[in-house]
Amino acid sequence: MGTTMVNTGLWGARLHHFDTLPSTNQWMIEHMGSCAHGDVVRAISQTAGRGRFQRPWIAPAGLCLTFSVLFRRGADDWLHPVIGQAAALAVLAALEPYAVPALLKWPNDVLVHERKIAGILAEKTPDGHGVVLGIGLNVNLAEADLAAIQLLQPATSMWIETGLPLDIEAIFAGLLGALQSTLDQVMQNGKPYLLECWRPHDALAGRPISIHTADTTISGLYTGMDVEGRLCLKDDTGRAHTFWAGDVSIRHRDAPRDR
């Protein structure tokens, strides 16, 4: 059986393909004037891939999936604040056929055995009305490739988790299909449905965590994600907090330091 090659974006929109770009998110932001809702831009390698909090996202050429999707202003704008979470669910669905036991870490990381396998970056378009959703999935990275990269947190790949090198084109096709169907289902069933799908796979459930924002760090017990996509936490004095954004670290009960 031949490889399934993707030739369209979401909902039949266009796929823009590049061997190299600085960043697919940046390309989409710069070209949104000529792109439509659902257009996808993919690059085999990025020279300035970026992650959350302006951190670099390093993905060696040909070993990872790196692409971005444009969501324009429209009838389903309510979805924009939780689009990263919906995308994380789609990554989980795309990993399922490969029996990779992934979990979700708020706001939208995908972890396997507490190592990150995929990162998602949702950025508002400069006009403030749309969203560019960028996904990076580690496919055929070996442990030696990861060792060569300066990582801010432990990472893994589909190859490491399955023991097999995988067909990246088939994984791209599966992930775009999963993204479209997850978004369709969330648009049809609303945010409570998204939360219902998230809960059984929540890597933070019952865990002591710290959340770091631009102004503060607060530690306590994770009490879940709410229906708006906010992180909920009870601090050590029993006070409840909610966060729209932040960087979460899991506190290990037997370790004095955050990881």
Binding site for ligand BTN (CB under 6 A): 23-25, 46, 49-52, 55, 57, 66-68, 109, 119-121, 134-136
Contact criterion met (CB below 8 Å) for 59 and 49: yes
Q: CB of 15: closest distance to ligand BTN in angstroms?
A: 14
CB closer to ligand BTN out of 69 and 233: 69
Q: Which residues pair with 180 in a beta bridge?
A: none
CB closer to ligand BTN out of 100 and 117: 117
Secondary structure class of 103 (helix, strand, coil): strand
CB closer to ligand BTN out of 159 and 220: 159
CB closer to ligand BTN out of 21 and 197: 21
Closest to 119 in 3D by CA, of 72, 148, 151: 151
Q: CB of 4: closest distance to ligand BTN in angstroms?
A: 21
Distance CA 77, CA 56 (A): 28
Q: CB of 139: closest distance to ligand BTN in angstroms?
A: 12
CB closer to ligand BTN out of 126 and 192: 126
- How far from the centroid of its chain's Cα atoms is residue 173's Cα? 17
CB closer to ligand BTN out of 51 and 130: 51
Tell me the two tokens of residue 78.
């309510």
Contact criterion met (CB below 8 Å) for 49 and 111: no
Q: CB of 121: closest distance to ligand BTN in angstroms?
A: 4
Q: Which residues pair with 52 in a beta bridge?
A: none
Q: Which residues pair with 40 in a beta bridge?
A: 15, 69
Q: CB of 240: closest distance to ligand BTN in angstroms?
A: 27
Strands of 64-71's sheet in order across: 15-21, 40-46, 64-71, 131-138, 115-124, 109-112, 102-105
Q: CB of 233: closest distance to ligand BTN in angstroms?
A: 20
Distance CA 108, CA 247 (A): 11
Count CA within 13 A, CB hemisphere, residue 101. Answer: 3
Q: CB of 246: closest distance to ligand BTN in angstroms?
A: 13
CB closer to ligand BTN out of 23 and 156: 23
